């Protein structure tokens, strides 16, 4: 058996497994859609009033800013690990300082635009 034949077998098996995972649930899934499946489920408590509530755009902007800064904080961990190394000492310090200044400017920009301020 050549390497290409073995590769072809693995690719075919991968496609078969993927198609099986996509087709079998559609064949065995229940098809009844009654009144209960159309209801909004909120922690087992019946909803009061309309369930389709529009959230303000500031909620999504705040969430995006939070995710962006969480990812940016991950860049600080590798620098913290090599900070004691004499090769990276002051250079790492200045790079992190510039990075934190840019992050602070982004927070100030969002604050000035009113993204962080909540309205009732």
CA distances from 21 to 3, 9, 26, 29 (A): 27, 18, 9, 13
Q: Give the pair of three-digit tokens for residue 94.
A: 């200045």
pTM, full prediction: 0.46
Size (the chain), residues: 120
pLDDT of residue 54: 74
Q: How far apart, in whole angstroms, are the C-alpha atoms of residue 3 and residue 9?
A: 10
| Angle 44-33-53 from CA coordinates, rounded to 5° | 50
Q: Give the pair of three-digit tokens for residue 8.
A: 């072809």
Q: Among positive and negative, which fits the CA dihedral 63, 68, 73, 78? A: positive
Three-state DSSP class for 42? strand
* Residue-wise pLDDT tens digits, 7-45: 999 999 999 999 999 999 988 887 777 776 666 665 666
* Residue-wise pLDDT tens digits, 41-96: 656 666 677 667 777 777 787 788 888 788 778 888 877 777 777 777 777 788 88
Which backbone phi and psi does 49 adopt, to 5 degrees?
Answer: 85, -170
């Amino acid at each position: 058996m050549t390497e290409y034949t073995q590769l072809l077998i693995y690719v075919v098996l991968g496609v078969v497994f993927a198609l099986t995972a996509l087709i079998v649930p559609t064949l065995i899934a229940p098809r009844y859609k009654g009144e209960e499946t159309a209801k909004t489920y909120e922690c087992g408590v019946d909803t009061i009033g309309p369930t389709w509530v529009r959230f303000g755009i500031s909620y999504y902007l705040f969430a995006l800013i939070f995710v962006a800064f969480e990812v940016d904080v991950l860049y600080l961990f590798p620098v913290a690990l090599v900070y004691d190394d004499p090769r990276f000492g002051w250079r790492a310090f200045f790079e992190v300082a510039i990075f934190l200044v840019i992050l602070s400017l982004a927070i100030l920009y969002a604050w000035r635009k009113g993204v962080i301020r909540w309205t009732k």
